[in-house]
Homo-oligomer: A and B are copies of this chain.
Amino acid sequence: MSKTEIKSGANALVETLANCGVTHCFANPGTSEMHLVKALDNEPRIKSVLCLFEGVATGAADGFARMSGTPAMTLLHLGPGYGNALANIHNAMRAYSPMINVIGDHATYHRYLDAPLTSDIETLVKPHSSYIGAVETPAIAGDVAIKAYSKTISQAASPVSIILPADSAWGNDGIAHEKPAVPTSANVGEKIIKTVVDAVKSAKSPALLVGGDALYDENTIAILGAISEYGIRVLIDTFPARQRRGKNIFHPDKMLYFAEMAVEDLQKHDLLVLAGTQSPVAFFAYPNTPSYLVPEATKVIELSSRQQNTKDAIKSLANLLGLNAVKADHEVAPIPLPDGKINAYKIGKILARHLPNDAIISDDAVTCGLPIYTETRNANTHDWLFLTGGAIGQGLSLAIGAQMACPGRRTFALLGDGASMYNIQALWTMVREKLPIITFIFANRSYKILNIEMERTGAGAVGETAREMLSLETPSLDFVKIAEGMGMRAESVSACDELDNVLEHALTLNEPILIEICL
């Protein structure tokens, strides 16, 4: 259709997003979105994916964005639908993922009647939207779509919200627009690079803390390897959006999660250079523990902000230091099958034995995450996706989007049993879309992290009520039945060799499978 042809607001919006290169819509529609659904019917360039809960839609859009660099659209049903979607929008915001959330609203003239589903959507979306496009007439639908797209892909990328009243969707003055020019991120000036070079040269023990999309990129990580060999310790954020890693890739250290340990670790350094990230802070506050993790004696300088081209800045820094990228070449012995009682470290080893090249790992494993991360450092090359915003429960949904962005690759979702129950409905979409995702559920029958945190926050001894609030026993969740109930193949294992066999077999299948690991 030509640019100036007049169409419905819903058609104009959807066609414009398709023109911008949007290829996926993760949806949970309601009555007010029927014209949007119809517009998606008319747009063969966008694949619509039904999710049984809105959090699945936004988690999937985040995973899709992290692996493709491209925003997906979501389709949400008024304020309550946005509420259901919010936790994973929060995580996406913290991952700097582009995402276009389209929230259907009542017709403009219907809102003032205060019908049951009415709420103040514009206020609701404010904290988690870098742009809010209110489509108050069909005529501006295409224009709003362009603005939303441009904002969501700008540096630093972030979710945007489009509020589409029903009469703007069905009204007939819409105009579709073409894809705008894509902004590029600003390069860091030479003077700044030189300042950093001078600072690291005069520091006794400099460290470089890296975050953002520099970690997506194997070449940049190879340069970081050279920087590390030069004598600058390379650290990365505790929960970056994505990290390229594996046996022939440089292994940077990670900022430690627990504040007191992180502070102690940073005390070794008199200089901390920030690249594409902010000064490290504690995940939570604790009585008598600092929230700001950099010791007073450590000087902090910025190489690049999150909004700048960090990959280029790191390259320039290495150039000025006279360094070339180092291709890591780790001696990796075959990993023997562990035996004895299964635990997270052994699960990591078993995963490392079988991890296919170019796999994707969606980590929502809470207490099991770090041991498995550690044990897979020398596995085949893969991308590790972290829980960036701390809103647990995203892992299944994130895996859906990652798998859809990378159809030829294998995605693994690693989840704690507690975390898995937030968006458990995601299993259904995996089956419907025939996504060959392998899900591990770590069934320790508790919110184990909270048992640790209870003590750390100084709340004191755990009494009867507190114990019940942190335990998932009584009744025990049977994840095999839950998965089968959503049409998914599933197995339960409790020994190392069982997991090894089930995993080996799972990789021969081209369908999703859930493996419950009883710890």
Binding site for B on A (CB under 8 A): 27, 29-32, 34-35, 37-38, 40-42, 48, 50, 52-53, 55, 79-87, 89-91, 94, 106-107, 109-110, 113-117, 119-120, 123-124, 126-128, 166-167, 170, 239, 278, 281-285, 287, 291-292, 388-391, 393, 418, 421-422, 424-425, 428, 431-432, 449-450, 453-454, 457-460, 462-466, 468-472, 474-488
Contact = CB atoms under 8 A, between A and B. Distances in A.
A457 B480 CA distance: 41
A485 B474 contact: no
Contacts of A42: 463
A105 B408 CA distance: 42
A84 B460 CA distance: 28
A291 B117 contact: no
A16 to B, nearest CB: 18
Contacts of A474: 432
A35 B459 contact: yes
Nearest to A237: B116
A37 B465 contact: yes
A498 B41 CA distance: 40
Contacts of A421: 52-53, 425, 428
B113 A292 contact: yes
A307 to B, nearest CB: 15
B127 A284 contact: no
A40 B466 contact: yes
B457 A34 contact: yes
A224 B119 CA distance: 32
Nearest to A117: B390
A55 B38 contact: no
A48 B80 contact: no
A471 B432 CA distance: 11
A450 B27 CA distance: 14
Contact of A116 (B113, B389, B470): B389
A28 to B, nearest CB: 9
Contacts of A110: 281-282, 284-285, 291
A87 B94 contact: no
A284 B389 contact: no
Given A53-B421, A115-B281, A34 B127 contact: no
B53 A422 contact: yes
Contacts of A459: 34-35, 37-38, 170
Contacts of A40: 465-466, 469
How many copies of this protein are present in the complex?
Answer: 2
Contact of A468 (B48, B460, B484): B48
Contact of A31 (B107, B115, B450): B450
A235 B284 CA distance: 53
B31 A449 contact: yes
A428 B477 contact: yes
Contacts of A113: 281-282, 291-292
A83 to B, nearest CB: 3
B107 A291 contact: yes
A518 to B, nearest CB: 14
17 contacts: A31-B457, A32-B284, A34-B459, A53-B421, A80-B86, A80-B90, A86-B86, A86-B124, A90-B117, A116-B389, A170-B457, A424-B424, A428-B475, A475-B486, A477-B486, A478-B487, A482-B482
Contacts of A52: 418, 421-422, 472
Given A113-B292, A458-B170, A487-B475, A86 B84 contact: yes
Contacts of A166: 284-285, 457
Closest 9 CB pairs of A and B: A475-B487, A83-B86, A482-B485, A481-B485, A107-B285, A80-B391, A41-B463, A80-B87, A110-B285
A452 to B, nearest CB: 9
Contacts of A109: 285, 291
Contacts of A453: 31, 34
A477 B170 CA distance: 33
